[in-house]
Chain A
Amino acid sequence: ETGVTQTPRHLVMGMTNKKSLKCEQHLGHNAMYWYKQSAKKPLELMFVYNFKEQTENNSVPSRFSPECPNSSHLFLHLHTLQPEDSALYLCASSQEVSGGPDTQYFGPGTRLTVL
């Protein structure tokens, strides 16, 4: 256990559905991240939140909408997804310190399948 939990672990949804992925970190970290891992592609950073403020949006389509209500919780709201959005979505957290980032701790991921 890394101290980062994600729910659900598996999700199957149609292209017209709306669903949300949830991430919670129990490490007292001040930064949280969403990554996408597609088959045969490197992990891609999607969003970064520092102290609940979004500091990075890596050209992610608007059908993915992040929400960070506090420094321990991170959501990814999904709507009108495409089959190519099927992937493993990983959440991570870290403690941002002056001078640079620290080790990121990853959750187990949500395996998303879009039909």
Chain B
Amino acid sequence: KQEVTQIPAALSVPEGENLVLNCSFTDSAIYNLQWFRQDPGKGLTSLLLIQSSQREQTSGRLNASLDKSSGRSTLYIAASQPGDSATYLCAVPLHGSSNTGKLIFGQGTTLQVKP
């Protein structure tokens, strides 16, 4: 059974710091891995999607890496800003015979960037 774990559960940093969020998964047979952002009481916004054949993806100040063999992904945020404060979720789909795109989520890392 696929399980996704995110560490740390919460993180508070001063503005300007570079930071790393961690995600691990137990079953390495994944099709891709996604990082999402969720603001309080809101839906999810997709940040980055890494295909299983890729090692990393970049979007602006965000860089996500994927190491399938070790079951790990990291989200690197450069020069953090107060607007980055949110909960960051990673998710992997189960690529079974039904091919449904069923996403398994971690519990998220809640980030607070202080001015």
Partner-B contacts on A (CB < 8 A): 2, 4, 6, 31, 33, 35, 40-43, 45, 48, 50, 55-56, 58, 88, 90, 92, 94, 96, 99-109, 111
Q: Closest residue of chain A to B36, judged by CB?
A: A106
Known: A43-B105, A50-B100, A55-B100. A103 touches B95 (CB 8 A): no
Residues of A within 8 A of B41 (CB): 88, 109, 111
- Shortest C-beta distance, B31 to chain A (Å), equals 4
Asked if B101 and A2 make an inter-chain contact with CB atoms under 8 angstroms apart, the answer reads no
What is the interface of chain A mostly: helix, strand, loop, or mixed?
strand
- Shortest C-beta distance, A10 to chain B (Å), equals 10
Task: Mark interface residues in B66-101 (1 if CB within 8 Å of A CB, else 0).
Answer: 000000000000000000000001010101001111
Q: Closest residue of chain B to A107, judged by CB?
A: B43
Asked if B43 and A2 make an inter-chain contact with CB atoms under 8 angstroms apart, the answer reads yes
Asked if B107 and A41 make an inter-chain contact with CB atoms under 8 angstroms apart, the answer reads yes
Q: Quick check: is B19 within 8 A (CB to CB) of the other chain?
A: no
Asked if B46 and A31 make an inter-chain contact with CB atoms under 8 angstroms apart, the answer reads no
Q: Closest residue of chain B to A55, judged by CB?
A: B100
